[in-house]
């Protein structure tokens, strides 16, 4: 090919080659096309002006910029995980440590607990099996108490009201000490303190400041019992009960399983009497006479609603019936007809020595009468133990009333509030708040601002119990220790240390505690070489129990400080004799109580979950549904159906409750079956005005309705007026249908039927086939799963489940279950994996299959039988949820579990729809890091409670119970490491581990030695049933029939 | 296509239309400027779509918690709307496939719009499949895609996976069938196009259609093959949708009658929707000569038939519930009729069972106004049917402790509105830019079943008919 040397000109200029062109030929762009920035108005700037950005620079910068930005964008997020520089000896990442400690609250709960910590933060509370008081379980509040620790609204250091700022401890110490030394009456106002060492600290403070006295008061007081015992036996105590020894229990407005002090132990004992089985065909019989349907009443075999105004007469009537038969002298009170009263008396007499009557009344006369009955029944000794009093409630209403009067009179110079919030929970709290201004120095140990603390000059925040050393003596001779499981989150200080500092003994409380134990408790211990051995053992065990009824010879001030007129010293271990004046009590009862009161009466009660409201800012407790009404996030006026009918009230309608001389209260009504006719009930613990976000202004405060009658606080009002307001406020309930609709979901029988036939009450459905009727499991389209290694199963005894709900909160904490708030509960979206279904019986005929028949079944009886059924994932062998998931996000394990892979879930909710038990929960929103759900999962501190072994679920995924698979895996690994099989009891689900009555038993069905396998074996085709086994779901959970100790079983639905 | 239609039958095209008239009448809409009415409708549709899109976006952004669902009722409006739209989508394929196989010539003037409606309805249904998921961004996990997780596969036991297959197949086949049918008409428009843009666009869309006899022959065979393919789909899609419920254990869902009952219901609602749309279209686009009262009557007859099937199914369900002796089942149905959602059940009964029976009356059957109203009532009824099945079964199932109510929120409603916006926007675009009546097929029947033919033969036939009443009947 020829060379082609054609030349093209770029323009006519090149061709002519004129000088202008040659000069600028090396410039790529001619001047008039310059890419360089031109300054305005100066078109002839020299081209070598370096201030302009040329194209290449621009590209360079662009390149650099894009790279830099993309590099920055690719940077991994900064994680704030800080590794241990020096690893603490006992902490291994991902291995949990357990420390024994003690949970006590001002509502009267005591549990000896094990605190599970992970990497130095407490994440779970477990019962301490070494305690003989609460070996099996804890209360709901103990389970939820972790969130009190991780409450970001706690005070972060000492607070001064004058400046509304935090300050240093030196600063407040100086100011408080100097003010204390100015003299004048000093009052330490506290709720019941069961810590002997703390009481010693207070004594020391009092000896330093002789003008000081200690006023003990309880928001919900049991002062009546204490005073009555003082009058009857010369012992100003609440006795301890041993319900396990009682064959007949008669409760008169006594919620001993729910809101009573020491209810966890009571439940444990009660549960033992309720269990029946192959070798035990007897159970206790429980009568309950009460106004509200309490948790205890719901468990009773016979329950009669009574008005508060009848309470005393019921006790007196019972007394008369017993006295006539036992040679006691009958008293002269109007008799009244109450259902089951005769039967109760007859049974009590027949079971003399194994029968007990308990009353929740705070009226000394009523309690005296109850003491008299128990005395006649020989309950003192076998069932009631006056020598081992319960210290959980020591409040003295009259002492508190005196104090309030002193404050009013301006006689108090300084007051220190310790676990006390009288502005909120004293009936005359509002007035007290105004009078409090007359006190010069007001100090509170509240850990966060509450109604009282906010009025105090200084708040010296106490540690949370999980951060602090402490001890406790819940019952005489039963000691337990509390130890810190995390270093203080904020700059708080133990209240004891504050008191010691102010009394001029600036000692750390740990040393003080140890010394006190060395001096006072160690001497009563035997078998230890040194105090250190004793201390270490006690600290390890969490408890030290002398176990003998005789109390140790303690130099610490006697727990019973209630001024007693008889002034009988707490004699030790001696027999007691009843010396109460029955006739005086009877005449007082006769004048106070009426057989037939016409006015509407009010009963004020405490919720099983929230208690006295101290922990109102705990979202877990707020969301914990009341076991009976299944309502949460607020209180309400419980009214009987009859009143709803006569007043034409519907649920959620707001009524105004007027009591003469009191501020009226406006609350929505809840129609409560079992509520005595002509009475209403309101729970205390709500209506906190100064609390954190979760607790503030939830419900209304009912404490002002409590009446002080001169000796004790009365939790009833004989005459209230109810007016409709026409407004509505929806009550958040997790269950809105209350009857069982005659379905065999809960199967029950009465004791006699059961004794005759262990399978009594069982529903045995048969499926009709061509070869005749067959059992549901016998025909199946499924290939059975084979479990070769383990088969995890559960047995739930409906007879010993009392419905307390500790398992629910335990599950919440263990499995990082989000709190969703009132509106979402109203929307029926609470996230609880485990719930306790509560069903009321109905008066309708279960055989009536007509439309009206079904409508009648929906109506609960006025005084219903109640049954509780813990409902959680049944881990079906033929799981309806598994087959329908399009992406196999839920699948079956080789150990009988129904697993959830949250990551795989795309959220079609088909599984939840197809679940016959409705135990699946869907994350409708993102419940963590979401302002809309501003609970513990929305802040860094609150998130510390999360269990690192359980995924926090994102929005759009389904979740459910997996039998705490993380615990199963851990247990299996532990066993594997030790080259053995897991031992029964080693792997326990969160629910089973905290059940006070051991109603939930979990284990390996393939292990013939396991309790669960044995129960299943023993109860096969007897009491054990699977819910809905007619649809062949093959659950891994068996329920044991509910047995009621009734003469005739209720044939109604 | 050219089978002779009995002259006693009502002519399918009236008004003495010629081939040119057909082309002119149908193409006028495509070629002309959008009419004022169309513009108004389109604006309304866009506003609806805009509001709906906002609601849907908010739903996706925040989570489906903005709906009224709860722990007990996990599906409500979402799946109700899904099943409702899928059901509506049945008419198109039924008309184009089954009626084609049965040689029903009256289908020719409505099949195009009906098929378009099918596709848009299925798209609306698909939007609810996506929307109802908790994590819609992972929707592709429901497809059996290869992945890096080893043997991780979809659950072939799950009716939802069957749904995915059924709906996607149905959408694909319907789309192809519809498009193939469009090609000759698109070519007509291309040939008539006066500006470059439409010439190019319609040219590209008509795939080089040349109108030769060979092309026509291929067209005919492809149509038949596709008709053969789609026919089982008409039955399968809603059968499979019904499996979502029928294979479950929930009383009120666990019912073997569901497949035929759902298919009948789907055709029922689909025809009603076709009627609603066609009655408007023939009015707006002045196509009364093509979509005649006779068309309407034929469709009304099908509505009456399928409505009766549905009615029988409802009553059978009640009977079986009683006969089963299963208390949960019995209560589920009693609760439907007398429980808190009784109004939904009785709306369903009235709209679906009673109202189509009015079509026994010829006057009503042939009344445009009555048909229009009834067609809407039928679709309201069918919406309630799905709502009743889904919500009233779920809200009170086995354990009374979990019984709950479902109340819709503005987002339940807004997301439903979204589907209407989407549907009407698409349908209006279709009506404007594509021929709403199948010109080619209408032309094919012009010779055998137009008013002209009838007029021509009318007199002779009448006489013949009177003279030999037994004609063609003496088979022996």
Helix (H, G, I), strand (E, B) or coil at A166: strand
Residue A650 shares a structural domain with residue A675: yes
Residues A389 and A430 in one domain: no
Q: At what angle do helices B111-131 and B410-433 cross, to 10 degrees?
A: 150
A924 touches chain B (CB under 8 A): yes
Q: Give one DSSP letter per residue of A357-372, joined into a string.
A: EEE----HHHHHHHHH
pLDDT on residue B17: 78
Q: How many helices (H) and strands (E) does chain A have?
A: 31, 41
- Domain of residue A380 covers 223-394+562-582
Strands (E), A31-120: 97-104, 110-118
Contact A173, A491 (CB under 8 A): no
Closest chain B CA to residue A826: B70
Cβ(A549)–Cβ(A326) below 8 Å: no
Name the more confident of A3 and A684. A684
Question: Quick one: pLDDT at residue A393?
Answer: 92
Contact call for B248 and A735, based on CB within 8 A? no
Q: Does A885 touch chain B (CB under 8 A)?
A: yes
With CB atoms and an 8 Å threshold, state whether B142 touches A1033. no
Q: What is the pLDDT of residue A797?
A: 95
Where residue A571 falls among pLDDT bands split at 50, 70, 90? very low
Share above pLDDT 70 across residues of chain A, in percent, rounded to a whole number: 93
Please provide the DSSP assignment of B129-175 as one string: HHHTSSSGGGGGGGS----SSSS----TT-HHHHHHHHHHHHHHHHH
Please report the pLDDT score of residue A560 as a whole number. Answer: 43
Q: Is the dihedral of CA B280, B281, B283, B285 positive or negative?
A: positive
A855 to chain B: closest CA residue:
B339
Beta-carbon pairs below 8 A across chains A and B: 167
Q: Residue A720: how many CB atoms within 10 A of its CB? A: 22
Q: For residue A978, give the 3-state DSSP assignment.
A: coil
**Residue B472: predicted pLDDT:** 53
CA B14/CA B450 separation, integer angstroms: 6
Q: Which residues of B touch A735 (CB under 8 A)?
A: 401-402
- Decide: A264 and A611 in contact? Cβ < 8 Å: no
Over 80: is that where the pLDDT of A804 sits?
A: yes
Please give the residue of chain A at the shortest CA–CA distance from B391.
A913
Is B134 close to A906, i.e. CB distance below 8 A? Answer: yes
Q: Which residues of A are less than 8 Å from B158 in CB distance?
A: 883-886, 910
A745 vs B: CB within 8 A: yes
**Alpha-carbon distance A766 to nearest alpha carbon in chain B (angstroms):** 11
pLDDT by residue (tens digit) across A784-802? 899 999 999 999 999 999 9
- Residue A503, domain CATH: 3.40.50.740
Residue A825's Cβ-count burial label (10 Å; 0-12, 13-18, 19+) is buried
Q: Which among A743, A908, A910 has CB closest to B327?
A: A743
Q: Is A886:B161 a contact under the CB 8 Å cutoff?
A: yes
Kind and range of the H or E run holding A682: strand A679-684
Q: Is A495 contained in some domain?
A: yes
Examine the pLDDT at A564 and tell me if it is beyond 70. no
Closest approach of chain B CAs to the CA of A675, in angstroms? 20
A168 in B contact zone (CB under 8 Å): no
Contact across the interface for A880 and B248, Cβ inside 8 Å = yes
Convert A239-274 into a string of H (helix), E (strand) and C (coil).
EEECHHHCCEEEEECCCCCCCCCCHHHHHHHHHHHH
Q: Given B70, B155, B394, which is nearest A888 (Cβ)?
A: B155
Per-residue pLDDT, A50: 53
Contact residues on chain B for A849, CB-CB shorter than 8 A:
330
**Taking residues A828-851, what's their average pLDDT?**
92
d(CA A71, CA A908): 38
CA–CA distance, A512 with A519 (Å, rounded to integer): 10
- Chain B neighbours among A 955-984 (CB < 8 Å)? 955-958
Burial class (CB in 10 A: 0-12, 13-18, 19+), A334: middle
Q: Tell me how far apart the alpha carbons of residues A713 and A427 are, in angstroms, rounded to a whole number.
A: 9
**The pLDDT of residue A498 is above 90:** yes
Which chain B residues are within 8 Å of A912, Cβ to Cβ?
A: 71, 74
Task: Tell me the C-alpha distance between A998 and A988, whole Å.
Answer: 12
DSSP A828-848: T----SSEEEEEE-BSS-TT-
The number of residues in chain B equals: 476
pLDDT mean over A211-225: 92
Q: Testing the interface with A: which of B402, B408, B409 to mutate, by most A Cβ within 10 A?
A: B402
Q: In the structure encoding, which two tokens stand for residue A141, read together?
A: 């509040």
Tell me which chain B residues have a C-beta less than 8 angstroms from the C-beta of A907. Answer: 64, 133-135
In chain B, residues with a C-beta closer than 8 Å to the C-beta of A860 are none
pLDDT of residue B3: 54
Q: Is it the case that residue A38 has pLDDT exceeding 60?
A: no
Across the strands, what pairs with A679?
Answer: A601
Q: Give CA–CA dist A75/A70, Å, rounded.
A: 9
Tokens of B52: 């709906």
Does the pLDDT at position A79 exceed 80? Answer: no
Q: Mark yes or no for CB contact A887/B401 under 8 Å.
A: no
In A, which residues are within 8 Å of B324 by CB distance? none
Is the distance from CB of B147 to CB of B140 less than 8 angstroms? Answer: no
How far apart are alpha carbons A561 and A551 in whole angstroms? 16
Chain A residues touching B397 at Cβ < 8 A = 916, 918
Q: Retrieve residue A455's tokens.
A: 């009025």
Same domain, A578 and A499: no
Between A829, A916, A925, which is nearest B70 by CB? A829
Give me the percent of chain A exceeding a pLDDT of 90: 75
DSSP 8-state code for residue A350: H
Cβ(A1045)–Cβ(A301) below 8 Å: yes
Q: Decide if B134 and A922 are in contact by the 8 Å CB cutoff.
A: yes
Residue A233 pLDDT > 50: yes
State whether A682 and A814 are in the same domain.
no
Q: Are residues A785 and A666 in the same domain?
A: no
Task: Determine, yes or no, domain membership for A742.
Answer: no
The CATH topology of domain B19-140+154-452 is Formate dehydrogenase/DMSO reductase fold (1.20.1630)
- Chain A environment of B133 (Cβ under 8 Å): 906-908, 956
Chain A: closest CA distance from residue B166 (Å):
14
Q: pLDDT exceeding 70 applies to what percent of chain B?
A: 92
Q: What integer best gives the mean pLDDT of chain A?
A: 89
- Rounded to the nearest 10°, the torsion over CA A731, A734, A739, A745 is 180
Q: With respect to residue A111, please indicate whether it lies within any of the assigned structural domains.
A: no
Residue B33 corresponds to which tokens in the numbers above? 């400027």
Confidence at B100, pLDDT banded by 50, 70, 90: confident
Is the ipTM higher than 0.90? The answer is yes
With an 8 Å Cβ cutoff, are B134 and A908 in contact? yes
DSSP A568-611: -----S--------HHHHHHHHHHH--SS--SEEEEEEEBTTTB
Residue A924: closest CA among chain B residues belongs to which residue?
B65
pLDDT recorded at residue A1052: 59
The pLDDT of residue A183 is 83
| Range scoring the smallest mean pLDDT among A76-85, A125-134, A880-889, A945-954 | A76-85
Position A570 pLDDT exceeds 70: no
Set of chain A residues whose Cβ sits within 8 Å of the Cβ of B142 = 886-887, 906
Per the structure, how many domains does chain A have? Answer: 5
Q: How far apart are CA A379 and CA A383, in angstroms?
A: 5
Q: Lowest-confidence range among A998-1012, B56-70, B144-158, B429-443?
A: B144-158
Residues of A in contact with B155 (CB under 8 A): 883, 885-888
Flag whether residue A888 sits within 8 Å of chain B, measured between CB atoms.
yes
What residues of chain A lie within 8 A of the CB of B135, using their CB?
Answer: 905-907, 954-957
Show the tokens assigned to A872: 């959680």
Cα–Cα distance between A993 and A971 in angstroms, integer? Answer: 14
Distance CA(A634)–CA(B139), nearest Å, equals: 40
Question: pLDDT digit string (tens) for A993-1007?
Answer: 999 999 999 999 999
Residues in chain A, total: 1053
Confidence of residue A950 (pLDDT cuts 50, 70, 90): very high
Q: Which residues pair with A796 in a beta bridge?
A: A1000, A1039
**In contact, A517 and A538? CB cutoff 8 Å:** yes
User: Which residues sit opposite A124 in a β-bridge?
Assistant: A116
**Structural domain boundaries in chain B:** 19-140+154-452
- The distance of A703 to chain B (nearest Cα, Å) reads 32
Query: Is residue A505 very low, low, confident or very high in pLDDT (cuts 50, 70, 90)?
Result: confident
- Partner B contacted by A735 (CB < 8 A): yes
**Residues of chain A positioned with their CB less than 8 A from the CB of B152:** 888, 904
Q: With contacts defined as CB-CB under 8 Å, which chain B residues touch A838?
A: 401
A656/A752 same-domain check: no
- Out of A736, A917, A1033, closest to residue B403 by CB: A736
Lowest mean pLDDT among A459-468, A554-563, B34-43: A554-563
Q: Are A594 and A716 in contact (CB under 8 A)?
A: no
Q: How close B171 gets to chain A, by Cα (Å)?
A: 20
Instruction: Clarify whether residues A882 and A955 are in a common domain.
Output: yes
User: What is d(CA B107, CA B302) in angstroms, rounded to the nearest whole number?
Assistant: 13
SS (H, E, C) A122-186: EEEEEECCCCCCCCCCCCHHHHHCHHHHCCCCCCCCCEECCCCEECCHHHHHHHHHHHHCCCCEE
Short-list A839, A813, A838, CA closest to A991:
A813
Q: In this complex, do B71 and A922 lie within 8 Å of one another by their Cβ atoms?
A: yes
When pLDDT is averaged across residues A237-248 and rounded to a whole number, the result is 93
Residue of A743, A886, A903, A959 to mutate when probing chain B, most B C-beta within 10 A:
A886
User: DSSP for A650-666?
Assistant: -TTEEEEEE-TTS--EE
Query: Residue B270: helix, strand or coil by DSSP?
Result: helix
A88 assigned to some structural domain: no
Residue A103 lies in a domain: no
Residues contacting A650, CB < 8 A, separation 6+? A644, A669
C-alpha–C-alpha distance, residues A285 and A300, integer Å:
8
Instruction: Please give the residue of chain B at the shortest CA–CA distance from A882.
Output: B158
d(CA A639, CA A648): 12
For A635, the token pair is 């209180």
Place of tokens 């979950």: A609
Mean pLDDT calculated for residue range A943-964: 94
pLDDT digit string, tens, across residues A292-336: 999 999 999 999 999 999 999 999 999 999 999 887 788 888 888
Residue A554 has pLDDT above 60, yes or no: no
A923 touches chain B (CB under 8 A): yes
Q: Coil, strand, or helix at residue B442? A: helix
| Among candidates A735, A918, A956 on the partner chain, residue whose Cβ is nearest the Cβ of B397 | A918
User: What is the CATH number for A263?
Assistant: 3.40.228.10
Residues with Cβ within 8 Å of B11's Cβ and at least 6 positions away in sequence, in order, are B292, B294, B449, B450, B451, B453, B454
Do residues A1009 and A984 touch, judged by C-beta distance below 8 A?
yes
Contacts of A45 (CB under 8 A, 6+ apart): A38, A39
Task: Answer yes or no: is pLDDT of B1 > 80.
Answer: no
Say what the pLDDT of residue B90 is.
84
pLDDT at A94: 86
Q: Which residues of A touch B252 (CB under 8 A)?
A: none
pLDDT for B475 beyond 50: no
Q: Which pLDDT belongs to residue A332?
A: 87
Q: Would you say A192 and A106 are in contact if contact means Cβ atoms under 8 Å apart?
A: yes
Give the separation between CA A337 and CA A324, rounded to whole angstroms. Answer: 17
Beta bridge partners of A204: none
CA dihedral A363, A364, A366, A370 (to 10 degrees): 130
Determine which of A820, A851, A924, A953 to mutate to test the interface with B (most B C-beta atoms within 10 Å). Answer: A924
- Contact residues on chain B for A742, CB-CB shorter than 8 A: 327
Residue A1038: DSSP 8-state: E
Helices (H), A351-494: 364-377, 397-409, 422-425, 429-435
How confident is the model at residue B2, as a pLDDT?
46
Spatial separation of the C-alpha atoms in residues A318 and A218, rounded to whole Å = 29
Neighbours of A574 (CB within 10 A): 10
CATH number, domain with residue A814: 3.30.70.20
Nearest of A1013, A637, A604 to residue A793 by alpha carbon: A1013
B207-265 per-position pLDDT tens digit: 989 989 999 999 989 988 988 888 888 888 999 999 999 999 999 999 999 999 999 99
Which structure tokens are listed for A902? 């949250």
């Amino acid at each position: 090919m020829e060379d082609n040397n054609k030349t093209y000109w770029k323009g006519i200029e090149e061709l002519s080659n004129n000088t202008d062109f040659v000069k600028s030929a090396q410039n790529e762009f001619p001047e008039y096309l310059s890419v360089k920035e031109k300054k305005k108005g100066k078109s002839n700037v020299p081209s070598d002006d370096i201030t302009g950005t040329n194209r290449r620079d621009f590209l360079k910068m662009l390149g650099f910029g894009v790279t830099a930005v993309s590099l920055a964008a690719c940077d991994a997020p900064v994680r704030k995980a800080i590794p241990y520089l020096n690893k603490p000896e006992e902490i291994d990442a991902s291995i949990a440590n357990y420390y024994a400690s003690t949970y006590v609250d001002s509502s009267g709960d005591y549990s000896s607990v094990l605190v599970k910590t992970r990497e130095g933060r407490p994440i779970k509370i477990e019962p301490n099996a070494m305690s003989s008081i609460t070996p099996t379980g804890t209360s709901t509040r103990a389970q939820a108490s972790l969130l009190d620790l991780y409450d970001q609204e706690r005070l972060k250091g000492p607070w001064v009201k004058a400046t509304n700022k935090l300050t240093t401890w030196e600063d407040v110490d100086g100011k408080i000490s100097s003010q204390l030394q100015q003299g004048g009456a000093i009052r330490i106002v506290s709720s019941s303190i069961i810590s002997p060492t703390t009481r010693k600290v207070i004594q020391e403070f009092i000896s330093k400041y002789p003008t000081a006295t200690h006023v003990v008061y309880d928001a919900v007081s049991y002062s009546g019992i204490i005073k009555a015992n003082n009058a009857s036996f010369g012992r100003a105590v609440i006795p301890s009960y041993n319900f396990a020894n009682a064959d007949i229990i008669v409760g008169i407005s006594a919620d001993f399983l729910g809101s009573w002090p020491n209810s966890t132990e009571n439940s444990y004992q009660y549960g033992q009497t309720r269990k029946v089985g192959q070798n035990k065909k007897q159970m206790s019989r429980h009568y309950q006479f009460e106004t509200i349907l309490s948790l205890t009443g719901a468990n009773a075999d016979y329950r009669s609603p009574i008005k508060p105004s009848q309470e005393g007469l019921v006790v007196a009537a019972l007394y008369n019936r017993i006295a006539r038969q036992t040679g006691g002298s009958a008293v002269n009170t109007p008799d009244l007809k109450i259902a089951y009263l005769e039967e109760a008396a007859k049974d009590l007499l027949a079971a003399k020595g194994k029968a007990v009557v308990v009353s929740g009344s705070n009226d000394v006369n009523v309690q005296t009468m109850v003491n008299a009955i128990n005395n006649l029944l020989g309950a003192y000794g076998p069932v009631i133990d006056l020598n081992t009093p319960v210290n959980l409630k020591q409040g003295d209403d009259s002492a508190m009333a005196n104090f309030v009067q002193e404050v009013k009179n301006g006689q108090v110079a300084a007051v220190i509030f310790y676990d006390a919030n009288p502005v909120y929970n004293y009936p005359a709290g509002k007035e007290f708040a105004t009078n409090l201004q007359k006190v010069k120095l007001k100090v509170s140990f509240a850990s966060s601002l509450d109604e009282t603390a906010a009025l105090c000059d200084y708040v010296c925040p106490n540690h949370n119990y999980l951060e602090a050393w402490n001890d406790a003596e819940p019952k005489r001779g039963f000691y337990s220790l509390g130890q810190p499981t995390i270093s203080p989150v904020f700059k708080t200080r133990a209240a004891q240390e504050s008191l010691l500092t102010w009394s001029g003994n600036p000692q750390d409380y740990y040393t003080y505690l140890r010394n006190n134990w060395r001096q006072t408790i160690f001497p009563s211990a035997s078998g230890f070489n040194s105090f250190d051995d004793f201390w270490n053992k006690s600290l390890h065990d969490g408890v030290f129990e002398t176990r003998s009824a005789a109390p140790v010879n303690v130099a610490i001030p006697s727990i019973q400080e209630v001024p007693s007129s008889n002034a009988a010293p707490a004699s030790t271990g001696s027999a007691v004799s009843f010396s109460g004046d029955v006739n005086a009590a009877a005449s007082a009862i006769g004048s106070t109580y009426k057989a037939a009161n016409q006015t509407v009466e009010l009963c004020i009660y405490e919720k099983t979950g929230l208690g006295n409201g101290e922990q109102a800012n705990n979202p877990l407790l707020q969301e914990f549904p009341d076991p009976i009404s299944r309502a949460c996030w607020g209180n309400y006026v419980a009214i009987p159906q009859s009143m709803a009918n006569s007043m034409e009230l519907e649920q959620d309608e707001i009524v105004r409750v007027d009591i003469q001389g009191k501020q009226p209260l406006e609350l929505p009504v809840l129609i409560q079956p079992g509520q005595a006719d002509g009475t209403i009930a309101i729970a205390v613990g709500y209506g906190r005005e100064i609390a954190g976000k979760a607790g503030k202004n939830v419900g209304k405060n009912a404490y002002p309705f409590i009446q002080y009658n001169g000796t004790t606080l009365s939790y009833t009002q004989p005459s209230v007026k109810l007016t409709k307001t026409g407004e509505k406020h929806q009550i958040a309930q997790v269950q809105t249908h209350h009857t069982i609709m005659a379905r065999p979901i809960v199967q029950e029988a009465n004791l006699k039927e059961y004794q005759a036939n262990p399978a009594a009450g069982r529903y045995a459905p048969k499926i009709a086939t061509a070869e005749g009727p067959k059992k549901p499991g016998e025909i199946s389209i499924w290939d059975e799963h084979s479990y070769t290694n383990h088969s995890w199963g559960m047995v739930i005894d409906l007879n010993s489940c009392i419905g307390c709900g500790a398992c629910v909160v335990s599950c919440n904490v263990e499995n990082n279950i989000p709190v969703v708030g009132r509106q979402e509960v109203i929307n029926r979206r609470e996230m609880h994996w485990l719930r306790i279904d509560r069903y009321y019986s109905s008066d309708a005929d279960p055989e009536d299959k007509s439309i009206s028949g079904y409508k009648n079944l929906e109506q609960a009886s006025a005084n219903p039988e109640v049954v509780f059924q813990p409902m959680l994932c049944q881990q079906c062998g033929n799981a309806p949820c598994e087959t329908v998931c399009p992406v196999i996000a839920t699948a079956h394990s080789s150990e009988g579990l129904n697993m959830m892979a949250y990551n795989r879930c795309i959220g079609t909710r088909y599984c939840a729809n197809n679940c016959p038990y409705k135990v699946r929960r869907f994350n409708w929103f993102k419940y963590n890091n979401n302002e809309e759900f501003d609970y513990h999962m929305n802040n860094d501190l609150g998130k510390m409670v999360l269990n690192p072994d359980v995924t926090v679920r994102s929005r759009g995924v389904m979740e459910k119970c997996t039998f705490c698979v993380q615990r199963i895996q851990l247990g299996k690994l532990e066993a594997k490491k030790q080259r053995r099989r897991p031992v029964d009891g080693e792997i326990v689900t969160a629910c089973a581990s905290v059940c006070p009555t051991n109603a939930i038993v979990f284990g390996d069905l393939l292990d013939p030695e396991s309790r669960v396998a044995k129960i299943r074996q023993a109860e096969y085709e007897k009491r054990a049933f699977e819910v809905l086994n007619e649809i062949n779901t093959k659950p891994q959970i068996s329920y044991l029939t509910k047995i009621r100790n009734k003469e005739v079983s209720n044939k109604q639905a | 296509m050219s089978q002779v239609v009995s002259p006693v039958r009502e002519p399918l095209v009236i008004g003495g239309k010629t081939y040119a008239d057909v082309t002119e009448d149908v193409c006028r809409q495509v070629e002309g400027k959008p009419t004022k009415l169309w513009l108004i409708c389109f604006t309304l549709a866009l506003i609806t779509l805009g509001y709906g899109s906002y609601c849907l976006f908010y739903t996706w952004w925040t989570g489906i918690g903005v709906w009224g669902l709860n722990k007990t009722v996990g599906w409500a409006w979402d799946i109700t709307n899904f099943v409702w739209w899928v059901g509506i989508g049945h008419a198109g394929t039924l008309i184009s496939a089954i009626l084609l196989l049965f040689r029903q010539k009256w289908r020719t003037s409505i099949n195009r719009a009906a098929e378009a409606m099918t596709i848009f309805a299925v798209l609306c249904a698909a939007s609810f499949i996506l929307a109802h998921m908790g994590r819609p961004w992972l929707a592709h996990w429901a497809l059996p895609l290869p992945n890096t997780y080893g043997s991780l596969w979809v659950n072939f036991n799950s009716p939802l996976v069957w749904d995915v297959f059924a709906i996607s197949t149905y959408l694909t086949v319907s789309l192809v069938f519809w498009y193939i049918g469009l090609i000759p008409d698109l070519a007509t428009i291309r040939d008539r196009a006066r500006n470059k843009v439409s010439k190019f666009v319609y040219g590209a869309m008509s795939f080089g259609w040349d109108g030769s006899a060979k092309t026509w022959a291929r067209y005919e065979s492809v149509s038949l093959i596709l008709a053969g393919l789609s026919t089982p789909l008409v039955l399968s899609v809603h059968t499979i949708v019904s499996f979502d419920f029928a294979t479950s254990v929930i009383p009120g869902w666990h019912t073997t009658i569901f497949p035929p009952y759902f298919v009948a219901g789907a055709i029922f609602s689909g025809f009603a929707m076709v009627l609603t749309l066609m009655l408007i279209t023939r009015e707006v686009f002045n196509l009364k000569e093509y979509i005649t009262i006779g068309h309407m009557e034929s469709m009304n007859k099908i509505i009456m038939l399928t409505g009766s099937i549905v009615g029988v199914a409802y009553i059978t369900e009640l009977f079986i519930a009683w006969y089963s002796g299963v208390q949960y089942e019995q209560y589920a149905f009693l609760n439907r009729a007398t429980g808190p959602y009784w109004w939904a059940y009785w709306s369903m009964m009235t709209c679906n069972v009673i109202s189509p029976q009015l079509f026994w009356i010829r006057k009503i059957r042939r009344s445009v106004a009555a048909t229009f109203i009834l067609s809407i009532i039928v679709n309201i009824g069918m919406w309630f049917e799905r709502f009743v099945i889904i919500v009233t079964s779920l809200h009170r199932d086995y354990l009374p402790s979990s019984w709950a109510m479902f109340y819709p929120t503005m987002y339940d409603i807004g997301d439903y509105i979204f589907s209407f916006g989407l549907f009407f926007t698409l349908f209006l675009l279709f009506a404007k830019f594509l021929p709403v009546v199948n010109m080619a097929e209408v032309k094919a029947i012009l010779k055998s079943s137009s008013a002209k033919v009838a007029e021509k033969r009318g007199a002779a036939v009448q006489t013949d008919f009177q003279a030999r009443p037994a004609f063609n009947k003496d088979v022996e």
